Amino acid sequence: MHSQPSVFRINQSGYATGLPVTAAVLGDGPVILKNAAGETLRSIDYDTPQTDPASADKVALVNLGVLAEGNYVLECGNASRQLTVCSSPWNTVTHTLIKGLYYQRCGCGLLPEHAGVYAHPPCHTAPAQEWTDQSVSRRITGGWHDAGDYGKYVAPGAVTVAHLLYTWKLFPQGCGDDLNIPETGNGLPDILNEARFELEWILQMQRSDGSFHHKLTKSHFAAFIMPQDDLEQEYLMPVCWCATADAAACLALAFRVYHSFDEPFANRMLLAAKHAWTWLQAHPDFVPFMNPEGVRTGWYGGRSDISNRFWAACELFASTGEDAYRLAAEKLYTTNLNLTEFGWMEVGGLGALCCLTDLKDHAGDVLYNRLKEDFLRRSEEALTLSHDSGYGTSIAPDRYIWGSILPVMSHAMAMIINTILTGRQDMRDAALLQWHYALGMNAMDLCFVTGFGENTVLHPHHRPSGADGIEAPVPGLISGGPNKCFCYPQTKEKLRPDTPPAKYFLDETPSADTNEIAIYWNSPAVFVGAYFNSPS
Ligand code: 9MR
Ligand code: ZN
């Protein structure tokens, strides 16, 4: 990975003018800020480093305030580290995180003019069989490979698309429109072009009764081969309650986003969303998804479909104005919904986004006033977690789960929404610390986005990156990060048992449990990046 971790942990993509510059210091003694010419600008006051419960590092945050554009040096004793401040430091990384999804495209070739050395021929183009009736075949094309594997899953895909669509609705200027993807320049913003690639696939995953297949995968994960070499039979796996609700929500949201660009496409999506809702109404009793006997690909099986149905009802109400959906959402709403979760397991946060940023006063008392109160309380908890961490990272030590980057980015999203609602700068500043975490201000001294940072993830668990014969991994993919909650025996063999949670990480290709990438980890990072990348 890299030699000795530095005494200073910084955002390795740089810092922005106009926003507070924060670094973490693991040393003792005064911290000096110098300019590029080596002249001392000032000595920085900071709190005595304390032991961070998640990493066991003795660390303190050093707030340098707002700095003018330029290169700086931080010094502490003999140690020093350079940092840069400029007006748009996160433009490229944010755009590349969106483009990271393009590299996950399935069913089409990636051409050299868009993908450079990562080009490859079309993959997974053969018809899929229905798992439950293998005499039935359907040819379904497109969609993104979910993660380091080549499976395609409806619920995670719907959540990823929703992150992108809300990013565009809220921070269009942070997204860029020149990603060099096949559709660039067609009049539709590129982030919407990329999201549409997945939406077209989601639409094909609907059955004639309105329900959605859970996933389109083989019975087992492929070896570490290129996608075009993965030629074994793919299957349409059984119907899933959560996937049907998430697809309904995402398609209803997409109706509003694409309406002014392509009305027939938007209408097609709303129709599919309503059809899915009708199926859900006719099937009120939740059946958890279980992998059928003999299937070992991703589970993604939620323990309840309440947050999913809630999110769908909110989006359908927002898109149709029909009271039946509002009433359904109100009925499903409880304070138990976790409104600061934006992942595939809990989608309450996406329902909250709809109510708080789209419906606003139109949501009515329950879905606006009550929900807002609950949301503000939950985001306050995220802020407290950040204050309790030596690096300002908004998760508890026992939340370094598989894909810990998701709760970190989810809390950043919640804090950003809080800032939008309240104007609170402390929330914005704490959200910024989560972005810094992703880009290097962490216990690993590692930038978790491939292709960025002086110390960066080099061996993500990502089949194309492992099989393409090119040293550098596919760029713009975010690693799931440290995981000490649910890890493989081979990871436990390599890391000492007393390794702290925030350091339970291996930059190794076989480490799916700590170093995989996933579309729904990229997309919340896109939301956070686009916010901080927007002109203020
Ligand atoms: O993101 C998922 C994580 O929350 C689970 O703990 C883990 C194990 O079940 O699975 C993760 O999802 C993987 C999926 O099952 C298959 N594709 C790769 C995903 C990312 O690792
Ligand atoms: Zn493919």
Q: The domain spanning residue 327 has which CATH number?
A: 1.50.10.10
User: How far is residue 46's CA from residue 263's CA, in Å, rounded to a whole number?
Assistant: 55
Q: Is 258 helix (H, G, I), strand (E, B) or coil?
A: helix
Q: Ligand 2 centre from 147 Cα, in Å? A: 11
Q: Is residue 465 part of a domain?
A: no
Shortest-distance atom of ligand 1 to CA 513: 21
Is the domain of 63 the same as that of 122? no
E strand residue ranges, 406-519: none
| Predicted pLDDT of residue 1 | 44
Say if CB 349 and CB 415 are below 8 A apart: no
| Predicted pLDDT of residue 429 | 98
Say if CB 81 and CB 7 are below 8 A apart: yes
Q: How far is CA 246 from CA 54, 288, 292, 469, 481, in A?
A: 33, 14, 21, 37, 25
Of 69, 89, 109, the one marking the end of a domain is 89
Is the domain of 184 the same as that of 76? no
Known catalytic residue: 146?
no
Ligand with an atom nearest the CA of residue 299: 1
User: How far is residue 522's CA from residue 410's CA, in Å, rounded to a whole number?
Assistant: 11
User: How many of the other CB atoms lie within 10 Å of CB of 18?
Assistant: 11
- Quote the tokens at residue 482: 């440290």
Is the domain of 111 the same as that of 177? yes
Is the domain of 73 the same as that of 123? no
Name the helix (H) or strand (E) containing 522.
helix 519-532
Ligand with an atom nearest the CA of residue 125: 2
User: How many of the other CB atoms lie within 10 Å of CB of 532?
Assistant: 22
Q: Ligand 2 centre from 89 Cα, in Å? A: 33
Q: Is residue 450 part of a domain?
A: no
Residues in CB range of 365: below 8 A, 6 or more apart: none
Q: Ligand 2 centre from 130 Cα, in Å? A: 18
Q: Is residue 306 part of a domain?
A: yes
Q: Ligand 1 centre from 494 Cα, in Å? A: 21
Q: Is residue 483 part of a domain?
A: no
Q: Ligand 2 centre from 511 Cα, in Å? A: 22
Of 35, 55, 89, the one marking the end of a domain is 89
Find the Cα–Cα–Cα–Cα dihedral 245, 105, 265, 170, rounded to 10°. 70
E strand residue ranges, 77-148: 79-86, 128-130, 137-138
* Predicted TM-score (pTM) of this structure: 0.98
Of 54, 89, 124, the one marking the end of a domain is 89
User: How far is residue 208's CA from residue 469's CA, in Å, rounded to a whole number?
Assistant: 43
Torsions phi, psi for 114 (to 5 deg): -105, -35
| Predicted pLDDT of residue 27 | 87
Residue with the smallest CA separation from ligand 1 atom 5 is 402
Q: Ligand 2 centre from 150 Cα, in Å? A: 6
Known catalytic residue: 513?
no
Ligand with an atom nearest the CA of residue 404: 1
Catalytic member of 145, 275, 459, 461: 461
Task: State which amino acid sits at residue 484.
Answer: K
Is the domain of 82 the same as that of 102? no
Residue with the smallest CA separation from ligand 1 atom 12 is 298
Known catalytic residue: 468?
no
**Residues of the chain with confidence (pLDDT) below 50:** 1-2
Q: Residue 292's closest CA among 347, 344, 240?
A: 240
Is the domain of 118 the same as that of 32? no
Shortest-distance atom of ligand 1 to CA 299: 15
Domain extent at residue 60: 1-89
Q: Ligand 1 centre from 162 Cα, in Å? A: 19
Task: State which amino acid sits at residue 41.
Answer: L
Q: Is residue 392 part of a domain?
A: yes
Catalytic member of 149, 198, 234, 330: 149
Is the domain of 83 the same as that of 216? no
Known catalytic residue: 388?
no
Residue 338 exposure: Cα atoms within 13 Å on the Cβ side: 14
Is the domain of 233 the same as that of 349? yes
- Strand 128-130, strand 137-138: pairing: antiparallel
Residue with the smallest CA separation from ligand 1 atom 4 is 402
Is the domain of 296 the same as that of 353? yes
Say if CB 169 and CB 358 are below 8 A apart: yes
Residue with the smallest CA separation from ligand 1 atom 6 is 402
Residues within 6 Å of ligand 1 by CB: 146-147, 149, 151, 298-299, 402-403, 486, 512, 516, 518
Is the domain of 239 the same as that of 368? yes
Choosing from 149, 150, 218 the residue with most ligand 1 atoms within 8 A of its CB, the one to mutate for a pocket test is: 149
Give the chain's domain count: 2
Is the domain of 144 the same as that of 34? no
| Predicted pLDDT of residue 337 | 96
Q: Ligand 2 centre from 493 Cα, in Å? A: 33
Residue with the smallest CA separation from ligand 1 atom 15 is 298
Choosing from 146, 214, 296 the residue with most ligand 1 atoms within 8 A of its CB, the one to mutate for a pocket test is: 146
Residue with the smallest CA separation from ligand 1 atom 7 is 402
Domain with residue 55: its CATH number is 2.60.40.10
Choosing from 153, 297, 300, 465 the residue with most ligand 1 atoms within 8 A of its CB, the one to mutate for a pocket test is: 300
Is the domain of 79 the same as that of 164? no
- Quote the tokens at residue 273: 């969303």
Residue with the smallest CA separation from ligand 1 atom 16 is 298
Decide: residue 164, CB within 10 A, 0-12 exposed, 13-18 middle, 19+ buried: buried
| Predicted pLDDT of residue 3 | 55
